[in-house]
Structure 1
């Protein structure tokens, strides 16, 4: 399918020639303020973190054509549906201040790198983007485009770009936090204060030109970002180009950037920062910005200016806006989550007296049809399920725990399609079964292990086995993928909660094996899984090559680990950040010359589907023996995985033994 970029050139707004200009000029124009989020206060030094970056978005395999025809509605606002005072102020503002709005813009929140709209050249999109990406410190564009009709390969490409950018951001953030921990524990530096990891990671990526969608202002859906995608930090939303401002609740093209002097809103953050907000899911009553004091209390009347005027103009032209919801979430590293819930249309606006007695501008937004279910609704459903507060159990649960309590958390079986309950026929295997000779190779355990009674610290024996640094941070997140990770073993004196025992302590999330019309059986979580988190082990009965050849003759189900995609190398890949970055090569691991029999004994991982753009990676780990030829296959999240989203692996290419994929059920 051909992909199109629609360049929206907005016509001049209808302006009343009879408006009272004298009255308008006497209006008090307050200092514009962004609609700030209550729990994401940023230091002053980070107010300009959203400027200048650009990512090389080129892909020679994509063939885009351009459609420069305007694609917006030019219907006039139905004035009978809008509060009369609101209309009066709106017309006065447009008559008196048209073309002069930047005089009243607050320079702290008006993008200093803006420029006028520049039409997209009539040439291949990626060639144009490639040329612009070579310009260092590129300014944030005022060019409005809408990306439509993406084909399958296009969707996959852009998803890969977004996922790679998010992995880079998460890896940087974890790395910065680890370095901060080291400084705090150092006698030399003491407990000096340092920048938050999320802010520092965003700053570094901005300096390297790695923020997405800065060379164009996208109206509507962002290619590669799915409805339901979850973010833990506001800065990450800025990095991927969903919302361009670190704190302001309304992101918009300013009047000075617009071709006709009208500001246009492109996205909003809904997080309950204003007392007059009302959120019913598909319908939102959104309060405009401005009029709040330093304690986030409404203390003045709002005006139809800045982002408020942009929202009204988007309503006038029928321009959709992206909606991201933010709310408190237990277990989040920031205390909050932000969920992309899709596209909404602004259908009404009015001025009324708010709860605090001051005039507030309200906008009614309705969610557009034919979109996936809202991510925020799925989060709330999953939370209700975990807490047992659902009024009734959904139909289709065939088992409440196929692991029979062998896992720390239950593994549900769900099938509302047919009567197939096959996963209950297998014996559940929580950890792989290795041949006895494996434990006699090179001594048992870790050859004595570490002596860290309270938990491993930097420089201990097990840290040195891993090249001097631990593989996990204090929260148990994978810092960087490696060919092999040595965890503390049975001969180490550290406790079970040691930071170097992450994968051997079992699963921490509630998983569900479910029946799918597309993939047969699949796996999803009832919990939100943070990027870098341990998921589970891929288990089976380990067979030597000779045994595997015999078993395959009988048609048994075998897994070939040597063909799994080396996705571990992508996690923590900072080659675009550091010019001297090298892919980890220590320790050197021989080719995995074994197979896994899952024909009779298996676990939840065996039901994960294959994907060339997976959200789960395989990391090799040793902890209960020292034979590097027979490691455990541990699975970690490559991105933030929302509840009820299917987990997927890269099973690799055809195997040289059998000519089949890694898994052949």
Structure 2
């Protein structure tokens, strides 16, 4: 066969060809007809769903996912024009544009391996950002704060019964359905039409966080092998995505509705479900646009998460390294190529389109995770090729922040300088308002006018009780010498909290309860116990500052996680008989008997009321930082009753937690509530919260 097709004549066998097997290729579909040019790009949909569906309008399944999982069928014969993928597919982008576990797990909460032949793990417009974890579903920059080994979980060494796996699936399905119901997300398209994309983003993020925290509680009850990575964030995202729950389903150039510059995220999956950055692993996200008769990729967003040396002293300039295998964990080094994400950045340089930038910052409070900060829009100014320290060729891109945008990443750098003492905080009146009462100083700041501070009061850390409430049933304290442990069925404190510890290992409130039962004086556990979070005082760098129109307010130098403890309401308890006069004359009042709009339905087995005792607190003469929190009809903080019972004595406290992730220097506000009609008419004050949901007044 010297002259045949299979002849070896003329082939240079000394050359090494780079060949990828067909099963590793990901199908790429063209943009739909009518896609405009880059000068006026329309949003293009991206799909972050299970390969088995459900699929949004305009997107169809492709082989081998044409048939249901339980009804295998033969592959259809390839037809002209469809390249063997079944019927013609009008979808504009690859399916499954984020890496996340498949809908079914192995029963231990561990994601199964990814199958490259199915296209799973293929990011929309990119690879794995230089980390060879395409089969694990884990990313080194995800917001995991467990401190455990990242990457693919170790095998437990025992086989799970199918009954246990099915039971876990049923439990997860029950939990996610309950949360979707509470957030009214079963009909997300109708919800989007009713409240718009901006509010939908907020609702989806809160639902994700509520589900993730609930799964964290459930994961703690399972007996997993040491070193196994628990990733409730991936589970939560997978459960939501498979049901089509996400915001901003259309890829777009520019800002994303509902996401403000400076917003923070503690998990990469949060970026995915709100459409800020579609791939969960790739650092470059891009879309295809039609220019004349051809299509070309344009970058829409990048995540600078520290995988490469993307640094610099100027906060408005980012030197970004391209994608490629220069940091493979198996030790191999390769040159980067001008393809996929790198090509998209190069095209965006010449087209001049805006690119969203998300900065990854190390979570100093917990060590192992990252905080992702949306830093706004940038333009790519130039690109070049250089050799790195290992001698590999890498692409470099210089991005410059568009002027006139609010502070974001630069603010973080300024705050760190305040903490280090290298730069003085402008407008400081008193470095520590607490005079050492708190473990961390609370600055008093005024950079608005010449007022020197609020009226005199005595700073106290806790609520001042004259006498506790009494109950007929005595409480038995726990004997957890090393602190209460999750899953300990013998711990009476766990039993009071429906069998769960209410807080995570890093002090985040895991579920909404009518009442939290914390350990008290009769318990043997130390002050460091996980069930004493509200008793240890403030752990944030807070400042009391002068607002422009609402007097003094409160904000934090530190980022606050959703569910994170902020402070308790300290002051003097007022008798209900004296409350009428106090409500009229006291501006620093907390009244638990008012009507409050719930953040989400409580998850109690007993269905108790939110506050078991009428508690009215005055912080006029004695109080802490909580007295400076202003009212808002769209709050980012909510209050939670906390009971500490010793024998027959009950001490009720009011603890404040974050509703959502709160960036540094964002004012902390909560809803003061509405006085019930049966209590008579109270004087109304004009509300200046500026929220789109403002009621116009508060009591």
In the superposition, the TM-score normalised over structure 1's length comes to 0.70
Alpha-carbon distance between aligned partners in 1 of 2:363 and 2:374, rounded to the nearest angstrom? 15
Distance 1:632 1:416, change over 3 A: same
Q: Which runs of 5+ in 1 are unaligned?
A: 1-25, 35-46, 57-100, 115-129, 136-152, 574-581
Matched, 1:454 2:482: yes
Residue 481 of structure 1, CA deviation: 1.2
Matched with 2:246 is 211
Does the Cα contact within 8 Å between 2:589 and 2:616 map onto a contact in 1? yes
Taking the TM superposition and a 5 Å limit, the aligned residue runs for 1:470-509 are 470-509=501-540
Taking the TM superposition and a 5 Å limit, the aligned residue runs for 1:216-365 are 216-254=250-288, 260-275=294-309, 280-292=314-326, 294-295=328-329, 299-332=333-366, 334-365=368-399
Does the Cα contact within 8 Å between 2:510 and 2:563 map onto a contact in 1? yes
Residue 172 of structure 1, CA deviation: 2.8
**Which of 417, 426, 444 lines up with 1:384 in the alignment?**
417
Matched, 1:167 2:206: yes
Distance 1:603 1:30, change over 3 A: farther
Matched, 1:651 2:672: yes
**Which of 368, 371, 374 lines up with 2:402 in the alignment?**
368
Residues 523-571 of structure 1 deviation map (CA, whole Å, 9 limit, x = unaligned): 111222222121101223221232012334556653323336344536x
Distance 1:286 1:476, change over 3 A: closer
Alpha-carbon distance between aligned partners in 2 of 1:182 and 1:652, rounded to the nearest angstrom? 36
Matched, 1:407 2:425: no
Distance 1:303 1:555, change over 3 A: closer
Q: Which runs of 5+ in 2 are unaligned?
A: 1-14, 27-46, 58-92, 98-115, 127-184, 688-696
Alpha-carbon distance between aligned partners in 1 of 2:584 and 2:206, rounded to the nearest angstrom? 41
Alpha-carbon distance between aligned partners in 2 of 1:257 and 1:453, rounded to the nearest angstrom? 69
Matched with 2:176 is none
Alpha-carbon distance between aligned partners in 1 of 2:623 and 2:629, rounded to the nearest angstrom? 12
SS at match of 2:462: coil
Distance 1:586 1:343, change over 3 A: same
Residues 10-58 of structure 1 deviation map (CA, whole Å, 9 limit, x = unaligned): xxxxxxxxxxxxxxxx998887999xxxxxxxxxxxx9878778999xx
Matched with 1:618 is 639
SS at match of 1:422: coil
Does the Cα contact within 8 Å between 2:640 and 2:656 map onto a contact in 1? yes
Matched with 1:578 is none
Does the Cα contact within 8 Å between 2:188 and 2:245 map onto a contact in 1? no
Between the two structures, name the one with larger relative contact order (CA 8 Å, sep ≥ 6).
Answer: 1
Alpha-carbon distance between aligned partners in 1 of 2:233 and 2:363, rounded to the nearest angstrom? 17
Does the Cα contact within 8 Å between 2:547 and 2:553 map onto a contact in 1? yes
Distance 1:245 1:402, change over 3 A: same
Matched, 1:537 2:568: yes
Does the Cα contact within 8 Å between 1:160 and 1:613 map onto a contact in 2? no
- C-alpha RMSD over aligned residues: 4.2
SS at match of 2:233: helix
Distance 1:420 1:200, change over 3 A: same
Distance 1:162 1:258, change over 3 A: farther
Does the Cα contact within 8 Å between 1:559 and 1:596 map onto a contact in 2? yes
Matched with 2:465 is 434
Residue 433 of structure 1, CA deviation: 2.3
SS at match of 2:208: helix
Residue 639 of structure 1, CA deviation: 2.0
Distance 1:322 1:276, change over 3 A: closer
Matched with 2:129 is none
Number of equivalent positions: 529
Residue 636 of structure 1, CA deviation: 0.8
Does the Cα contact within 8 Å between 2:198 and 2:257 map onto a contact in 1? yes
Matched with 1:196 is 231
Does the Cα contact within 8 Å between 2:217 and 2:500 map onto a contact in 1? no
Matched, 1:514 2:545: yes
Residues 238-278 of structure 1 deviation map (CA, whole Å, 9 limit, x = unaligned): 12211111111110114799984111210001134234765
Matched with 1:181 is 220
Alpha-carbon distance between aligned partners in 2 of 1:306 and 1:450, rounded to the nearest angstrom? 58
Which shifted more, 544-553 or 600-609? 544-553
Matched with 1:419 is 450
In the superposition, the TM-score normalised over structure 2's length comes to 0.66
